[in-house]
Structure 1
């Protein structure tokens, strides 16, 4: 982060609640109070994420597990994608072993059409819209294919860890012996 970016970020953080003429002692007091406020707001959000599950309707079986795994924001984005599934029809074009190639196109008069390749055994695949590759969220086209083949759970390959509830928690993924001597 450049010094200009840091300055802009800092100004945005303090803007609105602290006049420019504030003395250093008053600044430190207000800064600590604001950090405590931010910490409490984030803790409340973390609590809500871990203890309040998203409600899904009986016709949304595919969203049951993501409702327990994803953060609320990500779950709502996935729910928006799921709501668009009804606009599309999935047409199987080619099957070779477990790999299926499909075209998912709009049946509401729009000309949008996307090519999907999915391995029905490994439950991996990709879509031509590349939403999963760019955003990390299953697109409505993939969700349409899942529902076509009665896949009632979003496969693990299509759930990005960074959008899950525990992703912001620090986890130690190293062995302490890696920190000794020459390994530093």
Structure 2
């Protein structure tokens, strides 16, 4: 949050100044994202391997996020997953890795659960849960299982270069015309969703029902 406001919003401001400065921050962030998206479409970062998984991320992700994926992919070189146990379709691997802490390096063992049925994997390092990027431990397990593509659960829409960023539809004072109309529709739907979430979240049954219906609506509106 501090880095988001850095250079635009100062500590000693009144409410009106804060609102004006926040508006400038939002405008600048949108401009930066638009520039980044332009470069993602017009400048291609070359792949460093023949991996079809790397090529997939190159095609789908913005350049910034693709670089992060590449860092994880290159980190698999020294990793050698060891099968620890198997329960049904789920195989659990232990992956030894080195972690640098200040001036010394220590050995850490991570656990990766890999489901052969749907190809989904979960690692104890929680990089994907925290930063939305598949970790090198999962990539290493995929490699030793001959996985050539990625399940949709490991491809996040928020990093894709072909999907418009939703926060560009947040109302701002510099919006006009069609942009403001889009923002108004977005805000209206968002308010309705907040009310629905508040009602549904108190019940497991309602949450599951809402989740199913929302996924169906996403599929429906994505086709139009």
Q: TM-score range by the shorter chain?
A: 0.5 to 0.7
Shift of 1:101: 0.8
In the superposition, the TM-score normalised over structure 1's length comes to 0.67
Q: Which has the higher contact order (CA 8 A, sep 6+)?
A: 1
Shift of 1:42: 4.5
- C-alpha deviations, 1:113-137, integer Å up to 9, x for none? 1111110111112101011111111
Asked if 1:49 is matched to 2:44, the reply is no
Asked if 1:168 is matched to 2:159, the reply is no
Alignment equivalent of 1:13, drawn from 8, 16, 27: 8
Which residue does the alignment assign to 1:154? Answer: 150
Q: Is the contact between residue 89 and residue 106 of structure 1 (CA under 8 Å) also seen in structure 2?
A: no
Please list every run of 5 or more consecutive structure 2 residues that lacks an aligned counterpart in the other structure. 11-23, 99-104, 170-181, 197-224
Partner Cα distance (1:174, 1:148) in 2? 46
Please list every run of 5 or more consecutive structure 1 residues that lacks an aligned counterpart in the other structure. 16-31
5 Å matches for 1:1-184? 9=5, 12-13=7-8, 42-106=33-97, 111-165=107-161, 166-169=163-166
RMSD value, Cα: 3.7
Q: Is the contact between residue 131 and residue 138 of structure 1 (CA under 8 Å) also seen in structure 2?
A: yes
Q: Is the contact between residue 51 and residue 148 of structure 2 (CA under 8 Å) also seen in structure 1?
A: no
